[in-house]
Chain A
């Protein structure tokens, strides 16, 4: 039997719905409490069973047609041919975009404010702007108490979480043995597109690793902005940005570890 005060929270944790602080607290508790750890394993197993099992009832093939006919009949004025629902597949993609729009809007605001107060050269290069966006994203993730959408130190939880949220699969590596603990993942918005943000922790320092596909090819670059180090590189069609207030040496070590793990 799990501890009563934690039982409900464990479900929030299974669903990746806890805020970072509660998630970290619960994670620590799960390490110490075998009965809560067992409950967690059970809930996770049940969730997997339900997700992967044959439990989704799909509409019969003719239901769509039947409803279309009923709609037209209820709407006699509509006589023009009706577009097939299949042509509207782009609409399925538009569902998450409102949330992203919000993220983009707040990001734009942060960037605007940042640009006003930071003495930039007259015409910052696109790279310069992107670096500033990456930094804004990093800082915002720490300020807004929104470090992770999926708080988990398990790469096999974090990686599948991005399925269906991104049009690419970010490589998620567990580097806890090397002293960089995976804290979780988050959806972010950079370079005009949704990107994966993986969050690692070293002592009290957080590292945001932003990943998205791009055709850009660039050698590894390091920049320092407002006391934060940013390291940028590309590899096999992906762009990577690591941002942290960690000292440069350790951040570079982190980057090397990530690069070593990613297959060519």
Chain B
């Protein structure tokens, strides 16, 4: 493939999904500057392996590369975030008995929701982002993250339970992690 033609085809296939790429990176990295750099790095990596891209969903393909780039960066810069165990004790037990009102969830302050989502471990955060913000199916998420479909469902379940518990009342605020 001629280089200019390759670049043109790459831009046509991939750049329309820049918002999706940035949204995922921004949620995983949690700051604008690094997220932008990582999206750029991911695009350069994507261009290099574009020869290997044989059709299919360009958004999913780009997001897979963005995700890998972000996880590599997290490993180098915020290893602790990746290795922090999700505390089963805190996240299951007695809080289950208290359910928030659906109304409370719907009228929740956006910055509080965002804060709660940012506190989730990356694997749970990305499940919510891909499902609720990108509208991806379980199957698409499973392929993107390299996990079984059942795991997608259980990660979403855990993530949603945690987010909801964040809104059960003042006592439990901040007890997410």
Residue numbers of A with Cβ under 8 A of B are: 1, 7-8, 10-12, 15, 17, 35, 38-39, 41-51, 53-60, 63-64, 66-68, 70-72, 74-75, 77-80, 82-83, 85, 87-89, 91-92, 95, 98, 164
Interface check B36, CB cutoff 8 A:
yes
Contact among B8, B18, B96, B153 for A11, CB-based, below 8 A: B153
Pairwise interchain contact A68-B11, C-beta atoms closer than 8 A? yes
Q: How many residues of B contact A (CB 8 A)?
A: 60
Contacting residues, chain A, for B13 (C-beta < 8 A): 88, 91
Contacting residues, chain A, for B176 (C-beta < 8 A): none
Interface check B15, CB cutoff 8 A:
yes
Given the interface pairs A8-B154, A17-B138, A64-B18, the reply to whether A45 lies near B132 with Cβ below 8 Å is: no
Pairwise interchain contact B22-A98, C-beta atoms closer than 8 A? no
B143 → chain A, closest Cβ, in Å? Answer: 13
Contacting residues, chain B, for A15 (C-beta < 8 A): 131, 138, 153, 156
CB pairs A–B below 8 angstroms (20 shown): A1-B97, A15-B138, A39-B99, A43-B160, A44-B102, A45-B105, A46-B164, A47-B132, A51-B132, A53-B110, A57-B35, A58-B19, A58-B23, A59-B39, A63-B18, A64-B15, A67-B40, A80-B8, A87-B12, A95-B59
Contacting residues, chain B, for A64 (C-beta < 8 A): 15, 18
Contacting residues, chain A, for B43 (C-beta < 8 A): 67, 70-71
Pairwise interchain contact A88-B15, C-beta atoms closer than 8 A? yes
Pairwise interchain contact B11-A85, C-beta atoms closer than 8 A? yes
Chain B 19-41: CB-based contact to A (< 8 A → 1; otherwise 0): 10111001100001001100110
A101 → chain B, closest Cβ, in Å? Answer: 10
Contacting residues, chain B, for A17 (C-beta < 8 A): 137-138, 153
Contact among A11, A35, A41 for B157, CB-based, below 8 A: A11
A158 → chain B, closest Cβ, in Å? Answer: 16
- Interchain CA distance A58-B19 in the complex, whole Å: 5
B69-128: which residues lie under 8 A (CB-CB) from chain A? 96-97, 99-103, 105-106, 108, 110, 113-114, 117, 128
Given the interface pairs A11-B160, A83-B8, A95-B59, the reply to whether A67 lies near B16 with Cβ below 8 Å is: no
Contact among B21, B101, B114 for A59, CB-based, below 8 A: B21
- Interchain CA distance A94-B108 in the complex, whole Å: 36
Contacting residues, chain A, for B6 (C-beta < 8 A): 75, 78
- Interchain CA distance A78-B47 in the complex, whole Å: 13
Interface check B52, CB cutoff 8 A:
no
Contacting residues, chain A, for B11 (C-beta < 8 A): 68, 71, 82-83, 85, 88
Interface centre among A15, A54, A59, A88 (most CB of B within 10 A): A59
Pairwise interchain contact A45-B103, C-beta atoms closer than 8 A? yes
Pairwise interchain contact B132-A71, C-beta atoms closer than 8 A? no
Pairwise interchain contact B133-A55, C-beta atoms closer than 8 A? yes
- Interchain CA distance A64-B114 in the complex, whole Å: 25
Contacting residues, chain A, for B106 (C-beta < 8 A): 45, 48-49
- Interchain CA distance A53-B105 in the complex, whole Å: 11
